[in-house]
Amino acid sequence: MKAITYAGKEKLSLKELSVPQITAGEALVKVNYGGICGTDMMIYAGVHPRAKPSLVMGHEFSGEVIEMNSESPFKIGDKVAVNPIRYCNKCEPCRLGNYHICENLKYIGIDLQGGFAEYAKIPIENLHILSNKVKEDEAALIEPLAVAVHTVRRSKFKVGDTVTILGAGPIGILIGMIAKLSGAAEVIISDVSNYRLQIAESYGLTTVNSQEKDLIEKVKRITQGVGADVVFEVAGNQITADQMISAIKTQGEIMVVSVYKKPPTIDLAKMHFRELSLSTTRCFSPKDFETAIKFMEEDKIDFSKLISHRLPIESFQEGFQLVKESGNSLKVLFAL
């Protein structure tokens, strides 16, 4: 089978590998679509602390079950989403049910062989059956949608709140969609890419190109000078780490979603004077993943607009280049 593997800093290779042999409790999945994510870019850049060369990348993917050798709730041909989180069930976070922050967490596509391959062997407990209502390509967005569900649930967001999101990448827009579905009065989202902002606008979000307009002034104008109830920082740089403190209302909550390539400086003195809260979020719980599937099945949102490119696996270099440049793409999928 063909697979995209990490071959070292800024090196990827398309390899011909043997189809994985499944063991008890596993299923063989024919992968249909796999999405490139910011974490894949960190691996590609050689700065991910855990990924090692010869890894088959890809943690946002879906497919269908084609083989299994133990009792399972699936049938051959079932369409499935893959929850990529493996946890130890022994550490303190696991004992408290917080599997997504397991101290020994392993992620399929980061620590374990992933889904940028024609086939992947996956533990049956990590598979979720999908109804025919979920489109094969959109199913690859369930994992980032679960991140958005978890982020909004973890925040202090309440119905009627005005939310500001810094960064209109796939995660930022998905957070905006979940906040809107959950009763946000207004969702303001910033980016420096007009291409991405146009897509955000088509979902009913209020957009600001923060390179062209004063974001803070706009947030203040919309909130009658008060500031946003919740700010989600989803762009991951020093500029947005500064803006998050200026855009939030007094006693408001900043939710940091970004994984920073370089740790930002955060002005705690400014935060103290207005009793601001700073929270972080990581991955999603099993329930959040199921909620994401439900949102897809209910077909309330047109997720297809988030998919900017569907490329064959042979175009792996082009796919990664598109995501690296980011301004003229959104979610880039490999069709496998």
Ligand X SMILES: NC(=O)c1ccc[n+]([C@@H]2O[C@H](COP(=O)([O-])OP(=O)(O)OC[C@H]3O[C@@H](n4cnc5c(N)ncnc54)[C@H](O)[C@@H]3O)[C@@H](O)[C@H]2O)c1
Residues within the interface to Zn ion (CB under 5 A) = 37, 39, 87-88, 91, 94, 102
Min CB(126)–Zn ion separation in Å: 15
185 makes contact with ligand X (CB under 6 A): no
Residue 154, CA atoms < 13 Å, CB-side half-sphere = 26
In angstroms, the CA 297 to CA 134 distance is 6
- Residue with Cβ nearer ligand X (127 or 208): 208
> Between residue 257 and residue 296, which ones bind ligand X under the rule CB under 6 A?
257-259, 281-283
E strands along 258-303, which residues?
277-280
Q: Cα–Cα distance between 203 and 196 in angstroms, integer?
A: 11
| Pair of tokens at residue 135 | 């489109």
Interface segment toward ligand X; rule CB under 6 A; list 4-12, 19-27, 230-238, 289-297: 230-238
Give the shortest CB-329-to-ligand X separation in angstroms: 9
DSSP code at position 306: G
Spatial distance between the Cα atoms of 294 and 47, rounded to a whole number of angstroms: 34
Q: What are phi and psi of 4, to 5 degrees?
A: -90, 120
Residue 176 binding target from ligand X, Zn ion, none, CB below 5 to 8 Å by type = none
Q: Would you say 167 or 227 has its CB closer to ligand X?
A: 167
- Per-residue binder mask for ligand X (CB under 6 A), 1-40, x = binder: ------------------------------------xxx-
Q: How far is the CB of 154 from Zn ion (least distance, A)?
A: 17
Residues 6+ apart with CB under 8 A from 66: 28, 29, 30, 76, 77, 119
Residue 88 makes contact with ligand X by CB under 6 A:
no
214 backbone φψ class: left, alpha, beta (φ>0; ψ -120 to 50): beta
From Zn ion, ligand X, none, interface partner of 186 (C-beta below 5 to 8 A by class): none
Between 138 and 191, CB nearer to ligand X: 191
Cα–Cα nearest to 167, from 112, 125, 209: 209
> Quick one: tokens of 9?
């800093």
- What is the DSSP secondary structure assignment for residue 73, as one 8-state letter? S
Element (H, E) at 258: none
Residues 121-160 that bind ligand X (CB under 6 A): 147
| Contact (CB, 8 A) for 187 and 169 | no
| CB 227 to Zn ion: min, Å | 30
Q: Which stretch binds ligand X (CB under 6 A): 5-13, 161-169, 223-231, 294-302?
A: 161-169
Q: Which of 210, 223, 285, 291 binds ligand X (CB under 6 A)?
A: 210
Cα–Cα distance, 12 to 58 (Å, whole number): 12
We find the least distance from the C-beta atom of residue 191 to ligand X, in angstroms, to be 4
Residue nearest to ligand X (CB): 169
Contact segment (CB under 6 A) with ligand X among 47-55, 66-74, 186-194, 306-314 equals 186-194
Q: According to the binding rule CB under 6 A, does residue 47 interact with ligand X? A: no
- Give residues with Cβ within 8 angstroms of 115, minimum separation 6: 29, 31, 34, 56, 58, 59, 60, 61, 63, 82, 108, 109
What is the closest distance, in whole angstroms, from the C-beta atom of residue 27 to ligand X in the complex?
A: 25
Rounded to a whole number of angstroms, the minimum distance from the CB of residue 215 to ligand X is 7
Using rule CB under 6 A, residue 83 touches ligand X: no
| Binding footprint of ligand X on the chain (CB under 6 A) | 37-39, 147, 166-172, 190-193, 196, 210, 234-237, 239-240, 257-259, 281-283, 326
